Amino acid sequence: MTEYDTSIVIPTYNDEDTLEACLDSLESLDYVGTYNTIIVDGHSNDRTVEIAETYGCDVIFEDKGTISYARELGVKASNSEFIAFTDADCVVPDDWLSTLISHFDDHGEVAAVGGPNITPPDDTSFAKSVGDVLSLLSGAGARYGFEGEETREIYHNPTCNVVYRREVIEEVGGFNHDLITVDDEEMDYRIREKGYTILYTPEAEVLHYRRPSWKSYTKMGYRYGIGRAQATKLHPEMGEWFHFAPSSIILLLASFLAGSVKSRSWLKVLAGTLSLGSLGIISMSVYLSEKRNRWTQLPVYAILISIWFWAWGIGFIKGLLRH
């Protein structure tokens, strides 16, 4: 494998609970090239920066409060030929970087290579349920919990596990700072529009600790809804029917509720629609419980799916209205 100079960019904010394990795994990389780690911190008020400096990372700060801006600053702070991205709550295997980089050797048109992010076996029961739900949602097209079994071309790899050619990032103009989320996928869209290829390989698997609380999970769904709507306004081709479904149903329910002020018959329509939706959520929860053999988590699955539906749907509406 060719020796490449690579920078690893990690956006952080109050990540003292997970960052040390992440940096431990990066220190153990078996990589023939040279690499450095750049921490882009959003002014954490815990030990995040102290931990990063202990490991000898290059630490810079961002002031916009968006992860897209943090990633862009990380790119600008590096002079490396390749830029790798992961998150502070990820743990990578020893061959992570060498596996991803190896796919660039014989493919000059390849702009980026990424892999799956898997829920760690030592994660909490709640976090494992979050991971299960995200994996289920990936069946509709989401990439966050995708676990493909073969190396192939793909439209997007999440930035918790991906390497880019630096020159391609610069050619397409980098990350869009105005997007709350989905900035990595939006950039991948522009990369593919330039004729480049994005590869996925199951060989480069990272462990990704999931959202640890109801609050953080709800916030994640809400922000992803906003970001998806923002990106879809920029590039309508990025929008799929399932992106619009939750917000469309929410608006429909709101219209039924408004109609009930004049006619009680609309209450029956509202109740019937909610019943059908609940039946769908229960069916998905049963399917997931059977697939994962975690029947005790069935009510948790149902609540998580419901939260994602409402948080995403409301966030998507807000994103459509947002400048």
In single-letter form, the type of residue at position 132 comes to D
Summarised one tens digit per residue, pLDDT across range 261-276 is 888 899 999 999 999 9
Q: What is the pTM (predicted TM-score) of this model?
A: 0.91
Whole-number percent of the chain with pLDDT over 70: 95
Domain of residue 277 covers 218-321
Count of the separate structural domains present in the chain: 2
pLDDT for 145 equals: 55
Single out the residue in 181, 212, 243 at which a domain terminates: 212
In this structure, is residue 1 part of a structural domain?
A: no
DSSP H helical ranges for the chain: 19-27, 48-54, 67-76, 96-102, 125-138, 166-172, 183-193, 214-234, 241-259, 265-292, 298-321
Q: Put the strands of the sheet holding 90-91 in their side by side order.
A: 90-91, 206-208, 117-118
In this structure, is residue 275 part of a structural domain?
A: yes
pLDDT for 50 equals: 97
pLDDT for 269 equals: 92
Assess whether 194 and 142 both reside in one domain. Answer: yes
Assess whether 87 and 204 both reside in one domain. Answer: yes
Summarised one tens digit per residue, pLDDT across range 48-74 is 999 999 999 999 999 998 899 999 999
In this structure, is residue 293 part of a structural domain?
A: yes
Summarised one tens digit per residue, pLDDT across range 240-294 is 999 999 999 999 999 999 998 888 899 999 999 999 999 999 999 999 999 999 9
Assess whether 278 and 160 both reside in one domain. Answer: no
pLDDT for 184 equals: 95
Single out the residue in 212, 232, 252 at which a domain terminates: 212
pLDDT for 139 equals: 63
Q: How far apart are CA 304 and CA 228, in angstroms?
A: 19
pLDDT for 147 equals: 65
Assess whether 113 and 196 both reside in one domain. Answer: yes
On the question of pLDDT at 140 being above 60, the answer is no
Single out the residue in 182, 212, 242 at which a domain terminates: 212
